[in-house]
């Protein structure tokens, strides 16, 4: 009996009270997002293996990390930071968030504001009107016309898991368009990547098989749709889904665009 | 310049229904109905709705058929038009008929601005913006409720063919005269219980002179420009004080905005704790400063106005209802899933995109008092009903005072 109890205790301990991840450790999991209100802007949290993680704050469209959506699970890929907890959650920084496309009505937790979870700093943007600027600058500033000499030639678009172009890519696409016009690019080489994500529990999530081609072809279609004709488009695809490492999986979900100048 | 139901009815009485406003092509519930019978024009006479007929499947700019991401079925066809053998979905020239309020032809320097938020790629989905065929410049796509025309000229060309049934082609000179005429019209409330809105020294955001002289293309969801600047508390009588409070409700009263396509999906999260001015953010206009179609539920179920049927109710549902099924090859609609019921698919009838179903371009808030009913399908008969829709939809919980103040503010625009 003692042996049985000891075994059960050990099992219970291993499953329920696994050591929380140390600072610097990577965590990857799929879970429901949670909204916690505060006296200013809401926090976005998620729980995994008994630990509450802080994902991000509500800010505005210019934010480098955008909050997920209730009604959907979210793929969280981040590094545990040593920063003080925010809204009761251990901070992940950097963190990549991918909203899972299928609906999940069980992801519906909104927590009320509590004094103990209020922010100890002023958020980049209040919940109402701004003070005259976006929290992280204009996502697509006008007036800085690209010149041929200064125009970048290489661009990267990062995607959510299984994702294609969304609102945040408008800025990069605009830059590609302006640079291609300024430099009179002869060719645009587009490489679409497919990736996979290795979760902390060992499971591997692979993106849809055709996603690499879809990403590359969509960029071509969008640039053509914006009027970028008279240039040769070259499409390549690369499948990186075989060897996810749980380290830079999010960064592999991308497309690369290179402008090739005329001879 | 717009048209209210009251004006439409008066014109019917004055002309016995012979005014071109009541043309069979778009002023009737469907062209096959008996002419000169008010029942044939019921949606126009009762709700100010014109018939908009659009090809199905949608057409690309070059005239080719798009492959829509969804199938479309007619669930309810109270006007008989969507299943009609000559005018309907299964006719030789398949058309979808939806019923919409006209947009105000006024303050167009704002509506067609080239300022903040207008780029070659749409800031809400990354897709290419439609372009002016003459200049190649991107359009803000805020002219029509489905954003199907990029410029005043292309809109005039389409309107001549569809609404006017013009048999020829508008030449460049006529087109330019139409556009020039439209661009000189400015509209705002000028008389109000608060007093004369044109008086010198009044709030800088009110009155038509201020609208005509205002700066276009500015984001007003901030405390530097403001959407409708009042220049501080407006004093002098109780109504002015109420309008000032209503302004603050509009700008600063937060609530949870949830499941609104092209709002919660553009980086703010779902839900987002924001205010009216988040979406209605264009300085002086209160429309979207960027490409402005989104779905707040005015036409999509479960939020669209649909009175549950019962044996004791003689009211008949007046608008068509469509069943949209997103195809397996595309992700489901982020908030409504794969099957959506809608009175008007909105932008999706142009783009063919599942996540555009029921999205409607928001419009300016100027001259609201004179042009009821509201929303693209006329589902709010008064400003009170309009505010109540938002209150229900987003569980805002306005107090009576907040509601009254907000309505007074809106009525002064």
pLDDT of res. A145: 54
Chosen from A55, A69, A124, A136 to mutate, greatest number of chain B CBs within 10 A: A69
- Percent of the residues in chain A that have a pLDDT greater than 90, as a whole number: 80
Contacts with B226 from chain A: Cβ below 8 Å: 129
Q: What is the ipTM of this complex?
A: 0.93
What are B338-362's pLDDT values in tens digits?
Answer: 999 999 999 999 999 999 999 999 9
CB B230 within 8 A of CB B201: no
What average pLDDT does the structure give for chain B?
Answer: 96
For B218, name the nearest residue in chain A, comparing CA atoms only: A132
Nearest to B267 among A110, A168, A225 (CB): A168
Which among A67, A71, A127 is the nearest to B335, CB-wise? A71
The rounded Cα B307 to chain-centroid distance in angstroms is 22
Q: Above 60 in pLDDT, residue A113?
A: yes
pLDDT at B219 over 50: yes
| pLDDT score for A10 | 47
Kindly report the pTM of this predicted structure. Answer: 0.94
Taking residue A32's Cβ as centre, other Cβ atoms within 10 Å add up to: 19
Rg (CA), chain A: 22
Q: Write out pLDDT tens, residues A200-256.
A: 999 999 999 999 999 999 999 999 999 999 999 999 999 999 999 999 999 999 999
pLDDT tens by residue, A126-177: 999 998 877 777 655 555 556 667 778 999 999 999 999 999 999 999 999 9
Q: What is the reported pLDDT for A138? A: 61
Taking contacts as CB-CB distances below 8 angstroms, the residues of chain B near A58 are 268-269, 272-273
Rounded distance, CA A246 to CA B351, Å?
38
Q: Are B68 and B57 in contact (CB under 8 A)?
A: yes
The verdict on B222 touching A (C-beta cutoff 8 Å) is: yes
Min Cα–Cα distance to chain A from B180, Å: 28
If pLDDT is split at 50, 70 and 90, which confidence band does B317 have?
confident
Q: Half-sphere exposure (CA, 13 Å, Cβ side) for B24?
A: 9
Contact A31, A48 (CB under 8 A): yes
Range in A75-79, B24-28, B172-176, B288-292 with the lowest mean pLDDT = B288-292
B217 near A CB under 8 A: no
B410 touches chain A (CB under 8 A): no
Q: What is the mean pLDDT of residues B329-336?
A: 96
pLDDT at A142: 53
Which of A102, A110, A225 lies closest to B128 in CB terms?
A: A225
- Whether B251 sits inside 8 A of A128 (CB atoms) is yes
Phi, psi of B215 (to 5 degrees): -90, 130
Contact B269 A131 (CB under 8 A): no
- Residue B175 is predicted with a pLDDT of 97
Query: Does residue B395 come out as left (phi exceeding 0), alpha (psi in the -120 to 50 range) or beta?
Result: left
Angle between helices A170-183 and A211-225 (to 10 degrees): 60
User: Above 50 in pLDDT, residue A100?
Assistant: yes
Closest CA to B342 of B296, B307, B297, B283: B297
Distance (Å) from the C-alpha of residue A7 to the closest C-alpha of chain B?
A: 44
Indicate whether B67 pLDDT > 70: yes
Tokens of B301: 């179920």
Nearest to A156 by CA among A171, A141, A137, A135: A171
Minimum distance, in Å, between the CA of residue A76 and any CA atom of chain B: 15
Q: What's the whole-number mean pLDDT along residues B150-171?
A: 94
A100, B84 Cβ separation under 8 angstroms: no
Q: Using the CB atoms, write b or e for A63-86: b if 16+ within 10 Å.
A: bebbbbbbbbbbbbbbbbbeeeeb
Beta bridge pairs of residue B191: B196
For A59, nearest residue in chain B (alpha carbons): B268
What's the pLDDT tens digit per position in A16-72? 556 789 999 999 999 999 999 999 999 999 999 999 999 999 999 889 999 999 999
Across the A:B interface, residue pairs with CB atoms under 8 Å apart total 137
pLDDT at position A136, please?
78
| Residue from the list B221, B269, B337 with its beta carbon closest to the beta carbon of A129 | B221
Distance CA B283, CA B219 (A): 6
Alpha carbon distance B111, B382 (integer Å): 24
CA-based nearest residue to B144, from B127, B162, B128: B162
CB B375 within 8 A of CB B101: yes
The CA-based dihedral angle spanning residues A95, A101, A103, A109, taken in that order and rounded to the nearest 10 degrees: 10
Residue B129, chain A, CB below 8 Å: the answer is: yes
* DSSP β-ladder status, B70-76 and B321-326: antiparallel
* Cβ contact, residue pair A226, B120, below 8 Å: yes
Q: What is the dihedral of CA B342, B346, B350, B354, to 10 degrees?
A: -50
In this prediction, residue B1 carries a pLDDT of 66
Considering chain A, what percentage of its residues have pLDDT values greater than 70? 89
Kindly state whether B405 is in contact with chain A, defined as any CB-CB distance less than 8 angstroms.
no
Q: Do A167 and B223 touch (CB under 8 A)?
A: no
> What gap in Å lies between CA A4 and CA B354, rounded to an integer?
56
Alpha carbon distance A146, B37 (integer Å): 61
**Chain A neighbors of B269, CB-CB under 8 A:** 35, 42, 44, 58, 66-69
Instruction: Find the CB nearest B121 among A70, A110, A170.
Output: A170
Rounded Cα gap, residues B169 and B179, in angstroms? 16
Looking from the CA of B30 toward its CB, the CA atoms found within 13 Å total 21
- Low-confidence winner among A84-93, B112-121, B308-317 (lowest mean pLDDT): B308-317
Q: Two tokens at B366?
A: 């100027």
Q: Which of B234, B232, B194, B227 is nearest to B211 (CA)?
A: B227
**Residues of chain B with pLDDT > 90: what percent?**
93
Mean pLDDT of B324-344: 97
Does A63 contact B272 at a Cβ distance shorter than 8 Å?
no
What pLDDT, on the 0 to 100 scale, is given for residue A12? 47
Q: What torsion do the CA atoms of B202, B207, B209, B211 make, to the nearest 10 degrees?
A: 120
Mean pLDDT of B106-127: 95
The verdict on a CB contact (< 8 Å) between A42 and B222 is: no
Give one DSSP letter per residue of B91-131, joined into a string.
SSS-EEEEEEPPPP---HHHHT--STT--SB-TTT-PBPPB
Note whether A68 contacts B269, CB cutoff 8 Å: yes
* d(C-alpha A42, C-alpha B255), whole Å: 12
pLDDT at A134: 79
What span, in angstroms and rounded, lies between the C-alpha atoms of B245 and B86? Answer: 53
For residues B49 and B38, what is the distance between their CA atoms, to the nearest angstrom? 14
B121 touches chain A (CB under 8 A): yes
Among A37, A67, A170, select the one facing B123 at the smallest CB separation.
A170
In angstroms and rounded to an integer, the radius of gyration of the C-alpha atoms of chain B is 21
| Mean pLDDT value across residues B26-40 | 95
pLDDT in tens, B69-100: 999 999 999 999 999 999 999 999 999 999 99
pLDDT digits (tens, 9 = 90+) for B10-20: 999 999 999 99
Q: What is the pLDDT of residues B178-197, one digit of tens each?
A: 999 999 999 999 999 999 99
- For chain B positions 231-260, those within 8 Å of chain A (CB to CB) are 251-252, 254, 256, 258-259
What's the pLDDT score for residue A147?
67
């Amino acid at each position: 009996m003692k042996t049985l109890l000891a075994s059960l205790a050990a099992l219970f301990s291993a499953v329920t009270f696994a050591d929380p991840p140390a600072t610097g450790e990577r965590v990857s999991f799929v879970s429901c997002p949670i909204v916690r209100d505060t006296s200013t802007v809401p926090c976005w949290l998620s729980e995994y293996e008994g630990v509450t993680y802080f994902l991000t704050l509500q800010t505005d469209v210019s934010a480098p990390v955008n909050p997920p959506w209730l009604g959907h699970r979210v793929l969280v890929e981040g590094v545990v930071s040593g920063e003080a907890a925010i809204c009761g959650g251990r901070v992940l920084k950097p963190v990549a968030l991918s909203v899972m496309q299928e609906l999940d009505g069980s992801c519906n937790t909104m927590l009320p504001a509590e004094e103990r979870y209020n922010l100890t700093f002023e958020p980049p943007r209040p919940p109402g009107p701004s003070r005259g600027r976006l929290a992280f600058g204009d996502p697509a500033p006008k007036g800085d016309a690209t010149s041929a000499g200064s125009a970048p030639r290489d661009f990267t678009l990062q995607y959510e898991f299984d994702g294609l172009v969304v609102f945040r890519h408008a800025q990069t696409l605009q830059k590609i368009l302006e640079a291609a016009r300024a430099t009179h690019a002869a060719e645009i080489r587009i490489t679409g990547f497919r990736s996979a994500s290795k979760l902390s529990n060992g499971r591997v999530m692979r993106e849809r098989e055709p996603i690499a081609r879809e990403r590359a072809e969509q960029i071509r279609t969008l640039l053509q749709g914006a009027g970028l004709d008279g240039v040769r488009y070259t499409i390549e695809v690369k499948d990186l889904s075989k060897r996810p490492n749980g380290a830079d999986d999010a960064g592999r979900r991308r497309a690369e665009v290179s402008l090739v100048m005329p001879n | 310049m717009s048209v209210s139901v009251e004006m439409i009815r008066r014109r019917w009485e004055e002309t016995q229904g012979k005014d071109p406003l009541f043309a069979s092509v778009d002023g009737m519930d469907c062209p096959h109905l008996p002419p000169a019978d008010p029942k044939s024009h019921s949606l126009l006479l009762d709700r100010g709705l014109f018939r908009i007929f659009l090809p199905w499947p949608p057409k690309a700019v070059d005239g080719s058929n798009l492959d829509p991401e969804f199938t479309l079925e007619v669930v309810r066809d109270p006007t008989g038009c969507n299943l009609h053998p000559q005018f309907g979905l299964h006719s030789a020239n398949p058309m979808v008929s939806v019923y919409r309020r006209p947009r105000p032809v006024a303050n167009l320097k704002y509506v067609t601005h080239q300022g903040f938020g207008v780029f070659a790629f749409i800031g809400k989905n990354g897709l290419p913006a439609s372009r002016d065929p003459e200049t190649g410049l991107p359009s803000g796509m805020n002219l029509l409720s489905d954003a199907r025309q990029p410029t005043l000229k292309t809109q005039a060309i389409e309107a001549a063919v569809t609404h006017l049934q013009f048999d020829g082609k508008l030449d460049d000179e006529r087109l330019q005269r139409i556009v020039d005429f439209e661009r000189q019209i400015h509209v705002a409330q000028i008389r109000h219980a608060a007093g004369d809105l044109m008086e010198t020294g009044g709030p800088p955001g009110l009155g038509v002179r201020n609208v005509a002289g205002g700066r276009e293309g500015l984001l007003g969801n901030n405390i530097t420009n403001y959407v409708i600047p009042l220049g501080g508390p407006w004093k002098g009588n109780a109504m002015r004080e109420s309008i000032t409070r209503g302004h603050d409700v509009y700008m600063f009263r937060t609530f949870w905005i949830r499941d609104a396509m092209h709002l919660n999906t553009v980086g703010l999260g779902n839900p987002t704790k924001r205010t009216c001015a988040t979406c209605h953010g264009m300085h002086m206009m209160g429309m979207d400063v960027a490409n402005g179609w989104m779905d707040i539920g005015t036409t999509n179920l479960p939020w669209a106005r649909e009175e549950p049927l019962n044996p004791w109710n003689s009211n008949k549902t007046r608008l068509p209802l469509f069943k949209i099924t997103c195809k397996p090859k595309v992700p489901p609609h982020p908030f409504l899933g794969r099957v959506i019921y809608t009175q008007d698919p909105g932008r999706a009838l142009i783009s063919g995109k599942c996540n555009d179903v029921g999205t409607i371009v928001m419009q300016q808030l100027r001259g609201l008092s004179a042009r009821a009913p509201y929303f693209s399908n006329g589902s709010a008969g008064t400003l009170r009903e309009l505010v109540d829709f938002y209150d229900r939809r987003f569980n805002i919980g306005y107090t009576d005072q907040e509601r009254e103040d907000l309505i007074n503010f809106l009525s002064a625009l």
